[in-house]
Amino acid sequence: MTHTHKTSSQSTSRNSSHAESVRFIHSSDWQLGMYRHFLADGGGDKAEAQARFSAARLRAVAALGELSEEVDAEFIVVAGDVFDYNSLTRQTEGRIWEVLKALPVPVYLLPGNHDPLVAHSIFHKTKDLDGVYYFADIEPLEVRPGVELIGAPLRARTATTDLVADAIAGLDPDPRIRIVVGHGQVQGRSSEPKPDLIDLNNVEENLRAGAIDYVALGDTHNTEELGSTGAVWFSGSPEVTDFHDLDSAGGGEHDSGNALVVDITKDGPGQAQVSVDKREVGTWTFDTFKESLSSSEDVDRFIQRLEAYPRKDSTVVKYALEGAIGMEDNRRLEEELERLRPVFANIYPRERLMDLIIAPSEDELANADISGFAQAALDELVADMDHDPTARDAANLLYRLARKEG
C-alpha cells in the first residue's frame, strides 16, 4: 500500500547512487491519556499537576514532529501503546487528533497491549486523519519505492505467539529497506518463558541476511539497544511514566524521555548500515531515593538535594528517610517540606520504607517552654514515639506549636 506524504519533498531517495537510504524517527509507548494517582488523587494542586502531565505527553508528541524537521526525517514510527486505553474521553481524543494532524511528516502507529486492535479499537478513529496510518496486519506498507514498513500489531492484550517472527517469516534478502515495528518483550529479558516473547536470535539472523534492516520495538519504557547488530532497539517512552530509583543501578525507569533518529543505508540485498542517535524530548522527572538523617547537616543536605532540581513544577520525588534526629531538626525538616511541596508537581514519603526516629534531647525538652498538663502530655507522647507513629506525630505537633508560641 502506498501512502501520500505530507511533505512531498521527502518522498525521494536521499542520493542518486544504487544504494538506498532513509532517515526516520523511532518512538513508542506514548500512552496518551495516562493517569498517575500520585498526581491526581486528592484534588487541588495535585489535579492541576495531572492536567499538566497530560499536556506534557502531548507536547512530547509535538516535539517528535519538531525533531523530524530538525533532522530532515521522512516519517515517524510508533512501536505500540500509542494510547493508554482504547477508551478515552472525548476531550482527550480531540486533543490527540489535533497533535497528530499537526505533525509535519507521516506517522505510522502500531497497536500494542494497552491499545490492541480489537473491534472497538481507538485506531479505527484515525482513518480520516491525513498522514496518520496504523498497522492493521503484517502486510508490508510501502512508504516510498525502496522503503517498506512491516508491523506486528497486537489484536489482544496478550499475544499467543511471537508476532515479530510471524511478520518476518518467509522474507528473503532484498535490496529494499525493510523496517519491522513490534511491541513486546524479548527472549532472555523475561523471568519466565512465554509464547509471545520475541526471538532475538531469529531477528538478528534476518538482519544479517538482509531480509530486514531495522527492528523498532516498544513495551520497555527505557531506551535500550538489543543484540549485537546495532539494529534492534527499544526507543523508550518520549515522556517519563514511572519512577527512577536513584539508589539502584538501572533501577526503575532510568532512561525514558527519548526518541531515536535512525539512519539506514543499503547497497543491494545484504546487511544494511544502521546508525541510531538518541535525542531527549521529555521534560518531566519522577525520582525515588532514600536518605539517612542523623544531624542538622544531614537535614540540610536532603533539603539542598530537593532544591537542586531545576524543573520542580514537572518533577515528582518519592523519598524514604531513615535514621534518628532531634525534634528541632524534625520541625525544620517538616517546615521545609511544607514550603517545597507546592513548588513541585509532588513530593511525598515512601511510607513503606520510612524509618526515621525522632529522638528529642534533654535540652530540647527543657527549652520547649511547656509546663503543666501540656508537659505531662509531651512526656507521655515522647515515651511512646518509638512504637506509635500517632504519638510521634502528636509530639512533634505539640513541640512545633510550643516553639511558635515561644
Q: Given 235, 252, 280, which residue is the final one in a domain?
A: 280
How many Å apart are CA 122 and CA 152, to the nearest integer? 17
**Quick one: 354 and 247 in the same domain?**
no
Q: What is the pLDDT of residue 128?
A: 87
> Are 45 and 185 members of one domain?
yes
β-pairing, 141-144 vs 273-280, is unpaired
Q: What is the pLDDT of residues 245-258, one digit of tens each?
A: 999 887 899 999 99
Give residue 379's pLDDT band: very low, low, confident or very high (50, 70, 90): low
Q: What is the pLDDT of residues 89-142, one digit of tens each?
A: 999 999 999 999 999 999 999 999 999 999 999 999 998 899 999 999 999 999
φ and ψ at 91, to 5 degrees? -65, -45
Do 339 and 230 reside in the same domain of the chain? no
Same domain, 98 and 123: yes
The reply to whether 13 falls in a domain is: no
What count of residues does the chain have? 406
Q: Point out the domain boundary residue: 230, 253, 280.
A: 280
* Domain-located, residue 380: yes
Q: Is the residue at 153 inside a domain?
A: yes
- pLDDT, one tens digit per residue, over 152-206 is 999 999 999 999 999 999 999 999 999 999 999 999 766 677 899 999 999 999 9
What per-residue confidence (pLDDT) applies to 253? 96
pLDDT digits (tens, 9 = 90+) for 26-62: 999 999 999 998 886 544 566 789 999 999 999 999 9
Asked whether residue 302 carries a pLDDT value surpassing 80, the answer given is yes
Q: Which residues, at least 6 apart from 204, have a Cβ–Cβ distance to it below 8 Å? A: 227, 228, 229, 232
**Would you place residue 365 in the very low, low, confident or very high pLDDT band (cuts 50, 70, 90)?**
low
Q: Do residues 302 and 369 share a domain?
A: no
Instruction: Give the pLDDT of residue 43.
Output: 47
Q: Compute how many other C-beta atoms are within 10 angstroms of the C-beta atom of residue 94.
A: 10
**Number of helical (H) and strand (E) elements in the chain, helices listed first:** 10, 18
Pair 257, 385 in one domain: no
Amino acid occupying residue 333: L
Segments forming the whole domain that contains residue 364? 359-405
pLDDT at 320: 97
My answer on whether 76 and 144 are in the same domain is yes
- The pLDDT value recorded for residue 388 is 67
Residues 54 and 168 in one domain: yes
Task: Report d(CA 57, CA 51) in Å as an integer.
Answer: 10
What DSSP string runs through 267-315?
Answer: -SSSPPEEEEEEEE----EEEEEEEEE-SHHHHHHHHHHHHT-S-GGGE
257: in domain: yes
Q: Do 214 and 98 reside in the same domain of the chain? A: yes
- Asked if the structure places residue 3 within a domain, the reply is no
* Mean pLDDT confidence for 359-374: 61
- Tell whether 9 is covered by a domain: no
In a domain, 11, yes or no: no
% pLDDT > 70, the chain: 82
The reported pLDDT for the residue numbered 328 is 87
Percent of the chain at pLDDT above 90?
76
> Is residue 163 situated within a structural domain?
yes
The number of folded domains in the chain is 3
Give the DSSP H/E element, type plus range, for residue 224.
Answer: strand 224-226
Are residue 348 and residue 375 in the same domain, yes or no? Answer: no
Residues 329 and 197 in one domain: no
- Listed in sequence order, the DSSP H helices in 137-232 are 163-168, 200-209
Q: How many CA atoms lie within 13 A of 241 on its CB side?
A: 22
Are 329 and 365 contained in the same domain?
A: no
Q: Which three cell numbers stand for residue 130?
A: 491525513
Q: Which residue carries 547497497 as its cell?
A: 267
pLDDT of residue 190: 62
Reported as a single tens digit per residue, the pLDDT across 274-286 is 999 999 999 999 9
96, three cell numbers:
490527540
> Which of 257, 280, 303 corresponds to the end of one domain?
280
What's 115's domain CATH number?
3.60.21.10
